[in-house]
């Protein structure tokens, strides 16, 4: 049985007037809030998830997009519509369905900036572990003392690897995009004592990976130290962070 120690925070940050990010920690949604679950056992025959969505489209629209996405996925898990053999395809289908709905709402409301959102995180389901990614929010694995980005930023820069290219988002959920979700089985890539870091670009754009790695190595309170470092470096966006240590 897998046991996790989890810390999470979602905050508007020091410069933004509202928070378009949202977290879901096993169905507990967080926005302008935080939580700590020091010892959580995951049922090997059940499901558990740590998800982050960063909304876009401006005030209210981005908030709505990220909230609708995480509510939709939470409902899918509660209703047990996924099956072990088809969960990867079903996750893609459900995210595409929600993406189409967001695009349709944006059209009906004549939104000048169509609402959309990113998605990243990890799902445990019937003994397997899946990494989800759409957009430029990130999931990392920290295996002492090294930090590794497990997702790929779906931006011009992230797809080409050229630091001179722009951060123009090439894929998201809604936002006028197709809504393509990457799903990967990562059961062989994580293990006991690994740390999963899931974050919005309010952290990753403000704090270099080498500094994130150092904080995870040295800090007894990494979530708040990461948050404080992002604020110290400018805090120009919402800041959402999940740190989950795999105990066994």
| Per-residue pLDDT tens over the stretch 44-73 | 888 999 999 999 987 789 999 999 999 999
Give the tokens for residue 231. 């604020």
User: Picking from 118-132, 162-176, 182-196, 226-240, which range would have the lowest pLDDT averaged per residue?
Assistant: 162-176
- Is the pLDDT at 218 greater than 90? The verdict is yes
End-to-end CA distance of the chain, in Å?
7
Check residue 34 and report its DSSP letter.
Answer: E
Residue 159 has pLDDT above 90, yes or no: no
Confidence of residue 80 (pLDDT cuts 50, 70, 90): confident
Rounded to two decimals, the pTM is 0.96
CA dist., res. 230 & res. 215, Å (int): 12
- Domains of the chain (ranges, CATH numbers): 2-246 (3.60.40.10)
Query: In Å, how far are 11, 132, 149, 153, 171 from 182, measured between CA atoms?
Result: 26, 6, 15, 11, 11
Residue 57 has what pLDDT? 81
Predicted pLDDT of residue 20: 97
3-state secondary structure at position 188: coil
To the nearest whole percent, how much of the chain has pLDDT over 90? Answer: 87
* The pLDDT value given to residue 161: 84
Cis omega (within 30 of 0) on the bond before 145? yes
């Amino acid at each position: 049985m897998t046991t996790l120690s989890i810390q999470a925070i979602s905050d508007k940050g020091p410069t933004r007037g509202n928070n378009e990010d949202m977290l879901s920690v096993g169905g507990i949604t967080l926005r302008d809030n935080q939580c700590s679950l020091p010892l959580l056992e995951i049922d090997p025959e059940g499901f558990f998830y740590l998800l982050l969505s960063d909304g876009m489209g401006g005030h209210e629209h981005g908030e709505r997009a990220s909230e609708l996405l995480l509510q939709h996925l939470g409902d899918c898990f509660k209703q047990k519509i996924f099956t072990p053999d088809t969960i990867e395809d079903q996750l893609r289908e459900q995210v595409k369905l929600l993406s189409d709905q967001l695009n349709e709402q944006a059209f009906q409301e004549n939104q000048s900036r169509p609402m959309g959102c990113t998605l990243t995180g990890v799902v445990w389901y019937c003994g397997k572990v899946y990494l989800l990614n759409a957009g430029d929010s990130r999931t990392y694995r920290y295996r002492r003392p090294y930090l590794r980005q497990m997702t790929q930023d779906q931006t011009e820069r992230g797809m080409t690897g050229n630091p001179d290219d722009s951060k123009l988002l090439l894929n998201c959920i809604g936002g006028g995009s197709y809504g393509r979700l990457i799903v990967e089985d990562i059961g062989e890539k994580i293990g006991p004592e690994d740390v999963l870091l899931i974050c919005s670009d309010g952290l990753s754009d403000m704090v270099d990976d080498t500094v994130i790695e150092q904080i995870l190595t040295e800090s007894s309170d990494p979530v708040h130290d990461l948050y404080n470092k992002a604020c110290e470096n400018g805090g120009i966006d919402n800041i959402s962070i999940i740190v989950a240590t795999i105990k066994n």
